Amino acid sequence: MASEPRILASKRLREAWPPVSEDDVQLPSGARKTWIRMHLGTSAAILAVTKEKEIVLTREYRHGLGRIAFSLPGGTAREGESPDACARRELLEETGYEAGRVLELFAGNSLTAYLDGMLHLFFTRDCRPTDRRPDPDEIAAVERMTVTKALAEARSGAFESLVLTSAILLADARGWLVA
């Protein structure tokens, strides 16, 4: 059995968020490669459904795409903040909705080639609007989409976000979305 790859050297390229490092890695074959790694820590996103069976989504500028796109409310956990508390806070901050009972859909790495961190996807139904309004510099719009339409969009690959698509399909597979 081949040995595991080894990190021979690591240097921090960037300290500001998101921190980025460059690693010199020796592969089991003896070959050496250089990779970058982004250090995001714990992050959380939430698929929130209203009592009217509508999914609450954000429309946000996504720099990787270079445009505004549909997203799940979510972000990076603060120091000492649990993933579910992060998901609840992000839902409130980004949409003005308050989560009910929160169920975990997924915990893992969403970009295994370059990302050091764990993404937690959550689901909540019967979320409620509050008087809170999102920061317009972060959120272009908050939109509600019927479960039926969201499922059709996810199944057809219409969403540009794998995280959003996965959350909808995972919740549906578990029987948590009822159109």
Q: Is residue 6 part of a domain?
A: no
Confidence (pTM)? 0.89
Print burial letters for 86-108: b (CB count within 10 Å at least 16), e (below 16).
bbbbbbbbbbbbbbeebeebbee
CATH code (residue 161): 3.90.79.10
pLDDT at 114: 86
User: 31: exposed, middle or buried (C-beta count within 10 Å: 0-12, 13-18, 19+)?
Assistant: exposed
pLDDT at 149: 97
Count of structural domains, the chain = 1
Q: Is residue 3 part of a domain?
A: no
Q: Is residue 7 part of a domain?
A: no
Q: Note the pLDDT tens digit of each residue in 101-115.
A: 999 999 998 888 888
User: Catalytic residue numbers?
Assistant: 138
Q: Residue 86 is part of which domain span?
A: 39-173
Q: Is residue 97 part of a domain?
A: yes
Q: Note the pLDDT tens digit of each residue in 33-88.
A: 999 999 888 999 999 999 999 999 999 999 889 999 999 999 999 999 999 999 99
Q: Is residue 62 part of a domain?
A: yes
